[in-house]
Structure 1
Amino acid sequence: MDLQKAIIQRLLAYAAQRDVPPQELCALADISLQAVQHNSSTPLALRPQQLEALWQHACALSKDALFGLHLGESMQATALGAVGLIIQHSATVGEALTQAAGFTHLITDLFGMQVSHDKLGCRVEFIPFATHSTATGFAFRQMMDLFMAYTLHELDGLVLEKISPLRVKMPVTAEHLPEYQRVLRCHTVEHSPDYVLDFAPRLWELPILSANYELQQLLLQKVSALQDGISQIPHLRTRLSSYLLANAYLGIPTLEDLAANFNTSARTLQRRLQEEGITYQQLAEGVRKSLALHYLASGTYPIKEISYILGYNELSAFTRAFKRWTGSSPANYQKN
């Protein structure tokens, strides 16, 4: 399992969603796109200069100084292939975090992950073990942003709720503070040389729901059938549909949250979709319908759970929407 290669593959896939050609990005960083795409057992070994260039050009071409943060927000817990192994040996979130800390060295040699807990809460801390010059470099900062955001997504993937930290510590400028608060779901983001996520004590003993992880795998299989992960996709509506499908186990995001992840305004995103003849509401509704039919046909998930996953707070609201789409109730559709 080459987790470093998986990170680069996800970076390039996300760059393609952001209108950045993976071919151009690899060329600028002197990286072989073929080596990244090839699913061989040969590890992808990148020089520090290549990694630095890759992140710098990803930020520059996407015009997004927080590219790593937004990549971490968009990544699914299944993306690196390690979570499946973690949940096989974990019953609680605390056990899973402890297992995850042991995998960090397989992903990066820039920092390690340390977890601890007591009666006041539990803490996830990322500790640099690189030289000072490397630990303050561009790639290091982007990777730290990525893993701070990805850790939250990993937790979301293990339980059927969105986890919010009590406090976050990390180097952050006033200019970017609101976006860090949004992505990390925390108003208490303190400027600090450390990288820390503090959570409530209950998180440590929270049981893992492996069925939710299995659901993510189904979603990613569905997305993979629609597109090649790191190829360019011509239409914005297709890119956004793929993004919504891949992250649908966390619910359908608002237009504002989706626009922020793509480093644009909600108005601009809506205007670009309208130029393609569709609104965001129609796009989200289409994704919900597709997923509802998929889940119900599988016969694996209770209707109430499907309703919750698709963002409906009330089962009655989901039932009304499903009748509007199909003319049938979810129960009758599943039965037939």
Structure 2
Amino acid sequence: MLALPIPTADPQLLALLEPHAAALLARLNELPALADRVRHELLRLLVQSEPSLEAVAEALSLSPRILQGQLRQDGHTYQQLLDEVRRELAERHLGDHIPSIKDIALLLGFAEPSVFIRAFRRWTGQTPGTFRRAS
């Protein structure tokens, strides 16, 4: 059946629509990966409070379960992405030498500076103070 000619085929319409379809396919490849979209939402939500999986999923118009499943398929976890975003922000803030370690901990959604210090040591192998002095 697939090999049979289409009696209503229009070569002129095909010539018009084929480049349009190719452009649409190319744009699909330009969409940011889900992990990048999650990182963007995490950055946006960290300003307000501790970003929850539910809040990120809602912002991306996904259910939390679907978001976790798609991240898992791509080799990521929500917690891993949150840690990456926090680490990048922590390193940036520590390099600025302006906010205190306590302020950075609060900015990144940690309940206490000690929790932030333990997390930073886990990420980098050094304390925030040591990192700040070295940068």
Task: Give the deviation of 1:234 after TM superposition.
Answer: 3.2
Aligned counterpart, 2:87: 289
Pairing partner for 1:245 from 23, 43, 51: 43
Task: Report how far residue 305 of structure 1 moved.
Answer: 0.7
Aligned counterpart, 2:131? 333
**DSSP-derived class of the 1:322 partner:** helix
CA–CA separation in structure 2 for the residues paired with 1:312 and 1:234: 28
What's the offset of the Cα at 1:335? 1.7
Contact 2:105-2:116 at 8 Å conserved across structures: yes
**Pairs within 5 Å for 1:139-154:** none
Which residue identity does 1:242 align to in structure 2?
Answer: H
1:239 shift after superposition: 1.3
TM-score, reference length from structure 1: 0.30
Aligned partners of 1:256, 1:323: CA distance in 2, in Å?
Answer: 28
Aligned partner of residue 250 in structure 1, secondary structure: coil
Residues in 1 aligned to 2:102 and 2:34: alpha-carbon distance in whole angstroms:
32
Unaligned runs of 5+ in 1: 1-23, 25-231
Return the alpha-carbon distance in structure 2 between the equivalents of residues 260 and 239 of structure 1.
12
Q: Distance in 2 between matches of 1:238 and 1:327?
A: 25
Q: Distance in 2 between matches of 1:248 and 1:318?
A: 14
Gap runs ≥5 in structure 2:
1-23, 25-29
Deviation string, structure 1 residues 52-79 (Cα, Å, up to 9, x no partner):
xxxxxxxxxxxxxxxxxxxxxxxxxxxx
Post-superposition offset of 1:249: 2.0
Asked whether 1:310 is paired with 2:108, we answer: yes
- In 1, Cα distance between the equivalents of 2:63 and 2:80? 18
Q: CA deviation at 1:247?
A: 3.5
What amino acid maps onto 2:37 in structure 1?
R
Q: Does the 8 Å contact 1:233/1:239 carry over to 2? A: no
Given the alignment of the two structures, is residue 276 of structure 1 paired with residue 74 of structure 2, yes or no?
Answer: yes
Equivalent residue, structure 2, for 1:266:
64
**Further displaced range: 253-262 or 266-275:** 253-262
C-alpha contact (below 8 Å) 2:41/2:56 kept by paired residues: no
Give distance in 2, aligned partners of 1:242 and 1:273: 14
What is the count of residue pairs matched by the alignment? 107
> What RMSD over aligned residues (CA atoms) do the two structures have, in Å?
1.8
Decide which structure has the larger Cα Rg and report it.
2
Assess if the C-alpha contact under 8 Å between 2:117 and 2:127 holds in 1.
yes
Write the distance in 2 (CA, Å) between the matches of 1:246 and 1:304: 21
**Cα offset, 1:248, TM superposition:** 2.5
Normalising by structure 2, what TM-score? Answer: 0.72
C-alpha contact 2:41 2:59 (8 A) present in aligned 1: no
Does structure 2 conserve the Cα–Cα contact (< 8 Å) formed by 1:237 and 1:283? yes
- Structure 2 counterparts to residues 47-126 of structure 1, below 5 A: none
Cα drift, residue 263 of structure 1: 2.4
- Residues 1:288 and 1:296: Cα distance change in structure 2 (over 3 Å): same
**Maintained 8 Å contact 1:252/1:284:** no
Q: What amino acid sits opposite 1:271 in the alignment?
A: G
AA aligned to 1:310 is: L
Q: Measure the CA separation in 2 of the matches of 1:275 and 1:330.
A: 33
Contact 1:322–1:330 (8 Å) recurs in 2: yes
Question: What CA distance in whole angstroms lies between the structure 2 residues aligned with 1:269 and 1:295?
Answer: 29
Higher strand share: 1
CA displacement at 1:327 relative to structure 2: 1.1
Residue type matched to 2:72 in 1? Q
Matched residue, 1:320: 118
